[in-house]
Amino acid sequence: MRPHSLFHFLVTLSLSGATSAAPSPLKLRQSIASPRNWVDLGRAPPMHIIPLRIALPRPRFPELEKHLAEASDPFHERYGDHLSKEEVEEFLAPHASTIDAVQEWLNGHGIQEEACHRSPAGDWITVRVPVSQAESMLGTEFRVWKHAQDGDVLVRTTEYSLPAHLDGHVELIQPTTAFNRAKRQRTSFRFSPTLENTSLLPSDAKITVPGSGVTVDASCNKTITVSCLKQLYNAENYIPHAVNENAIGLTGYLEQFANFADLQQFYADQVPNAVNTSFDVVLINGGLNNQTLSEAGAEADLDIQFGLGISFPTPGTFYSTGGQPPFIPDADTPTDTNEPYTEWLDFILAQKHIPQTISTSYGDDEQTVPEDFARRVCQGFAVLGARGTSLMFSSGDGGVGDGNPDPATQTCFTNDGTNQTKFIPGFPASCPFVTAVGGTVHIPEVAVDFSGGGFSNFFPRPIWQDLAVTKFLKSLPKGTYAGLFNPNGRAIPDVSAQADFFRIFFQGRAVHIGGTSASSPSFAAFVALLNDARIAAGKSSLGFLNPLIYALNGNGFNDITAGNAPGCGTPGFNATAGWDPVTGWGTPDFGKLKNIALGY
């Protein structure tokens, strides 16, 4: 811990202009070990601007969580009773005494009310200050850090302090100790001139899926299309009816642009009825919509093409959120904006109307996120669930490991300074208020070998997971991977879908692409169709899915019982009968799920 000397207090006084009151003693609020794989490049420039986000406690959040549990429980009389934007904000509002105490502290540093950006519920305050002032406010030293493998650059500190009298009034302040990034899952590409120059041809050959009676074109074992997924997941004949009331959203970060021209080629290739239709683009936090074909993003194209292709004609929105590494903190790029999840949450929660289904194919290792910050972001996802939105996140592409595609070189060590060997769960997939989507491959389906899965070290196992996960853990031979994972943690994934050999159009070319980046928007598209069926029947959207999924005990899903996802130098877990931490409950049977969804 760095000493908080008289010099710090004098700097505070000079920056704030305060002359009448002595500064309150500072109390250490958080301290972390130097993060693994990050290189300290030295002091941050004093005039570099940091957008400090101050989280105020939400004393009524347990009430909102109780409401969410009831509205998501298919056996509860309030099932489907979602909250409005205004009702949610009442549950999130901080105490007036907290607002006053924090504003008084900010005033003491020369930050007046008009310089504070407050969230609609008042539970977040954002202030933009230079590094020199942030260091004085937080009794710390900000430094420039560069990721040793990816080259990403962040301005962060490894500890910060706050006046003791703010205990109970400030939950956390970021970006300070958060070294997480919104990383694309490690999608794989297979460019093929043969694939480029051929169109899809109908095939008379069929594959019968054992146990389901479903038949699928034999070509689907080599190339996954919209038609393949609709055949495989029993949705070929469904026609959406609530297209004026239902919507699907796909999120994009890191300057991943969804290209309109690529979508038209995809539609002509796979969804001809959709040709000349498009999607809305919403720009957040300086996000862009670059339609230069060479700037198209494979991740964004994949999400949009399959998310909208499966759910057509359900209206779709692509959220392009700015803030990406690498950035160099200098006079030309003075602001670090790499807080995309919270920027997106700020925006979406401020909207009166939001899509009933949203998919995200980004994540990072859970351990790169300070636990208090992970919990706060996870609460934001719970709020979306309370408003009736189903959130899907890809479970990751590293099996039980750190996402390195080569298991032999994975570094599965904790970054808390102890360097213990541990499996590495992903976040936000580990948040219990999102539905984590793993991956399968081939027909009949088996677990794809990169499907992310495991057990959270931050979030305890929710009650709705108890029976399924406990059953799986009891099936493991005694001592299996003892000490490598937290058996009491929230388990992922919840479900899965096909995750490889997807045919998309990228920068004008037909290519194959794979990853749980493919499974999440695909699963989400079928959820959007389920919401369509419910809304057309005069019912509410499904909202937070997990309590329903686990209550079904596998009903409505194709159980995946073969395959495994290795990592950390181990074979990882196996796909088994029932729930497992590779494929969850399995892949969707839309026909069965639609009948179930309409029954509640």
Q: 236-265: per-residue pLDDT in tens?
A: 999 999 999 999 999 998 788 999 999 999
86 is a catalytic site residue: no
**Range from 22-26, 184-188, 504-508 that averages highest in pLDDT:** 504-508
Strands (E), 370-493: 390-394, 426-427, 435-441, 446-447, 454-460, 489-492
Peptide bond into 355 cis (omega under 30): no
- At 40-66, the pLDDT tens digits run 999 999 999 999 999 999 999 999 999
The larger pLDDT score, comparing residue 503 to residue 362, is at 503
Residue 431: is its pLDDT beyond 50? Answer: yes
User: Out of 119, 320, 394, 517, which one is annotated catalytic?
Assistant: 517
Whether residues 169 and 205 fall in one domain? no
Looking at the fold, whether 255 and 153 belong to one and the same domain comes out as no
What are the CA-CA distances from residue 144 to residues 308, 314, 410, 561 (Å)? 40, 44, 25, 47
Check whether 186 has a pLDDT greater than 70: no
User: Same domain, yes or no, for 501 and 542?
Assistant: yes
Which one is predicted more confidently, 78 or 405?
A: 78
Average pLDDT over residues 261-289: 96
In a domain? residue 1:
no
Give residue 410's pLDDT band: very low, low, confident or very high (50, 70, 90). Answer: low
The token pair at 372 is: 């208090």
Write down the pLDDT at residue 405: 53
Judge whether 303 counts as a catalytic residue: yes
422 plus 462 within the same structural domain: yes
**The residue type at 61:** F
The lowest-confidence range among 300-309, 318-327, 345-354, 402-411 is 402-411
Confidence of residue 338 (pLDDT cuts 50, 70, 90): very low
Q: Is the pLDDT of residue 202 over 60?
A: no
* 496 belongs to the catalytic site: no
User: Of 131, 157, 179, which one is at a domain's C-terminal end?
Assistant: 179
- Distance from the Cα of residue 160 to its chain's centroid: 26
- What is the tens place of the pLDDT at every residue in 77-111? 999 999 999 999 999 999 999 999 999 999 999 99
Taking 60 as the threshold, does the pLDDT of residue 10 lie above it? no
Shared domain for 331 and 417, answered yes or no, is yes
| Joined tokens for residue 340 | 């995309």
- Which SS3 state, helix, strand or coil, does residue 526 take? helix
135 and 40 in one domain? Answer: yes
pLDDT (mean) for 579-591: 98
Mean pLDDT for 332-352 is 72
Final residue in a domain of this structure, among 133, 151, 179: 179
**Residue in 217, 299, 339, 500 annotated catalytic:** 299
Question: 516 pLDDT exceeds 60?
Answer: yes
Which residues are bridge partners to 296 per DSSP?
A: 257
Residue 426 lies in a domain: yes
Q: Is the pLDDT of residue 176 over 60?
A: yes
Q: Strand (E) positions, 157-228?
A: 159-163, 172-174, 183-184, 188-191, 206-208, 215-217
Q: Is residue 67 part of a domain?
A: no
Q: Which two tokens stand for residue 75?
A: 């056996």
Number of domains in the chain: 2
Of 193-197, 213-217, 413-417, 468-472, where does mean pLDDT reach its minimum? 193-197
3-state DSSP assignment of residue 266: helix
The Cα–Cα gap between 227 and 211 comes to 21
Instruction: Determine the average pLDDT of the residues in 549-578.
Output: 96
| Average pLDDT, rounded, for the chain | 89
* Residue 388 in domain: yes
CA angle 417, 421, 426 (to 5 degrees): 90
**pLDDT at residue 193, as a whole number:** 46
Are 200 and 325 found together in one domain?
A: yes
Counted residue by residue, the chain has a size of 600
Q: Residue 111 annotated as binding?
A: no
580 annotated binding-site participant: yes
With a cut of 50, say whether residue 9 has pLDDT above it. Answer: no
Q: Which of 89, 301, 303, 365 is catalytic?
A: 303
Q: Domain range spanning residue 390?
A: 184-598
- 452 is known to lie in a ligand binding site: no
Q: Is pLDDT of 19 > 90?
A: no
Per the domain annotation, does 473 fall within a domain?
Answer: yes
User: Residue 184 — pLDDT band, cuts 50, 70, 90?
Assistant: low
Task: Answer with the one of 179, 212, 228 that is the final residue of a domain.
Answer: 179
Q: Based on the domain organization, do 174 and 193 belong to the same domain?
A: no
Q: Is residue 109 domain-shared with residue 236, that is, in the same domain?
A: no
Backbone angles phi, psi at 445, to 5 degrees: -75, 140
Domain assignment of residue 174, yes or no? yes
Coil, strand or helix at 300: helix
372 is in an annotated binding site: no
Chain centroid offset of residue 381 CA: 9
Q: Are residues 203 and 165 in the same domain?
A: no
The answer to whether residue 572 sits within a structural domain is: yes
Confidence of residue 189 (pLDDT cuts 50, 70, 90): very low
Q: Between residues 277 and 404, which one has the greater pLDDT? A: 277
pLDDT(569) > 50: yes
Whether 133 and 271 map to the same domain: the answer is no
Q: Are residues 127 and 162 in the same domain?
A: yes
Query: Looking at the domain assignment, is residue 448 inside a domain?
Result: yes
Q: How many CB atoms lie within 10 A of CB 237?
A: 7
CATH number of the domain that residue 432 is part of: 3.40.50.200
Q: What pLDDT score does 404 carry?
A: 62
Banded model confidence at residue 409, pLDDT cuts 50, 70, 90: low
